[in-house]
Chains A and B, each alone.
Chain A
Amino acid sequence: MEQPVQTETWKARSLEELIRILHRIFAEDKVSVEEVQELMESYESNPEEWLQYAKFDQYRYTRNLVDNGNGKFNLMILCWGEGHGSSIHDHTDSHCFMKILQGNLKETLFEWPEKKGNGEMTKKSERVLRENQCAYINDSIGLHRVENISHTESAVSLHLYSPPFDSCNTFDQRTGHKHKVKMTFYSQFGERTVC
């Protein structure tokens, strides 16, 4: 029987403080999902603190690395133009936290397709996440698609993945077929990465 993790209620008063506390939390052997989610939610988004990482691309959403957590986690900012969305994807056995910094994002949850699946994937639920809300997902919960459904506002979100991963599977909603993809960063630590 595992010992319950000692959880605290943190309040991050700035992005820098959030990152510092995350380093502290992840230095331990055991990390509580609730603790991280509460911490992420406690940070009140202040664009001045993250604008340097928020690099938009005209054609699709971007992933901008903010901190690599001493190898324990990746913290990144995703920028979504109007109408930009992701494919349905998994999280390669990692924990995924997603906090809205600006605008709104729609998250649609899907069931894992059947092994021999050849039919439309089953939608479990959907919701629109508002500014400062933080969602959590992992592979045992299911798969999701994230999209900015606004035609007038862009959106910015803060993601934490632990352990870090650079590839995942994307799924065709109509057939359930999956396809492994490598994920790249549009910028790292505020600098545009040229591929």
Chain B
Amino acid sequence: LPAGLSQWFPALEVLDVSGTGLAELGAELLALPRLHTLLAKNNRLGGPGSLPKGLGQAPVGRSLRVLNLSGNRFAELPPALLGLRGLQSLSLGGNRLHGIPPDIQELRSLEFLYLGGNFITSIPPELANLPSLSYLVLCDNKIQSIPPQLAQLHSLRSLSLHNNLLTYLPREILNLVHLEELSLRGNPLVVRFVRDLTYNPPSLQELAGRTVKTRNVPYAPSDLPENLVRYLSLASNCPNPKCGGVYFDSCVRQIKFVDFCGKYRLPLMHYLCSPECSSPCSSASQSSTSQSESDSEDEASVAARRMQKVLLG
């Protein structure tokens, strides 16, 4: 970037340096208080120092709304980005990302997140803490599973998951009522019944966590180390209506196929807190009464019908 950029063009609002071969964006950027859109795609950014230090605290850090870094060489989300509290749109498509840092939740204003065409293998549940996220693109990666917490993204309107390594989806995905677009093609989605998957007994930490949550043991951030406070916030509720329990990492997993009006069969993963629990779609005892099965079947199929118009192709 030319030196003195912010002195020559202090009112700059949009800067497009795409396809210029830049290997770093320097401090010249920092003093542009009106810059809301920065397009730097198809460059050679990605090494340490690609983005200037203090980006989040600088005037440009408060004004920036749209940042496009697609087609570069980032192997990890640059930490300098995380201070951009006002950022609404971020694209890192076509880079070399292997994962998404949990700290992504610091981008509180994010509405549009494009991460297609990377090497991402998993999604941190913290992604679900972005309250305004409406467009999430994760296509063309190596993702094997979706954390059920993603169903908390109430504003999500479009979710792109095609060309990954998904074999099933979390049942909670049916809760995304505002979802209008969902792409799942090019995933090895399981098509046949899968027996109960192996159950790893819960660790002491998990058992303690479950007790704290189910007995409503009060605690404040000052009572516990930060990592345990975060751990407790990741509790998931057991879907068994008779259970009311929670689980963290240790759960029974069952794949249940949900029919979309007899046309599509989506494999949804049910998580239960213990082998003694049962999914809402089967009764506790082995002999299932057709009544209870059809009741919970209805609940799933109503939600499924809502999603049906979304799930095309």
Contact = CB atoms under 8 A, between A and B. Distances in A.
Max chain B Cβ within 10 angstroms of own Cβ: one of A88, A149, A171, A174: A174
B76 interface: no
A187 B42 CA distance: 31
Contacts of A60: 158, 181
Given A60-B181, A86-B313, A172-B264, A151 B158 contact: no
Contact of A58 (B70, B112, B162, B265): B112
A152 B94 contact: yes
Nearest to A177: B263
Nearest to B70: A152
A193 interface: no
B180 A82 contact: no
Contact of B116 (A58, A151, A170, A179): A151
Contacts of A171: 313
Contacts of B180: 59
A174 B157 contact: no
Interface in B70-103: 70-71, 91, 93-94
A7 interface: no
A23 interface: no
B42 A152 contact: yes
A103 interface: no
A29 B116 CA distance: 47
A41 to B, nearest CB: 27
B251 to A, nearest CB: 27
A177 B264 contact: yes
Contacts of A88: 313
A149 B160 CA distance: 12
Interface in A15-63: 58-60
B312 A82 contact: no
A87 interface: yes
A138 interface: no
Given A88-B313, A174-B264, 7 more contacts: A82-B70, A85-B313, A145-B313, A151-B71, A151-B140, A152-B41, A152-B71
8 contacts: A60-B158, A83-B139, A152-B71, A152-B94, A170-B312, A172-B264, A173-B313, A174-B264
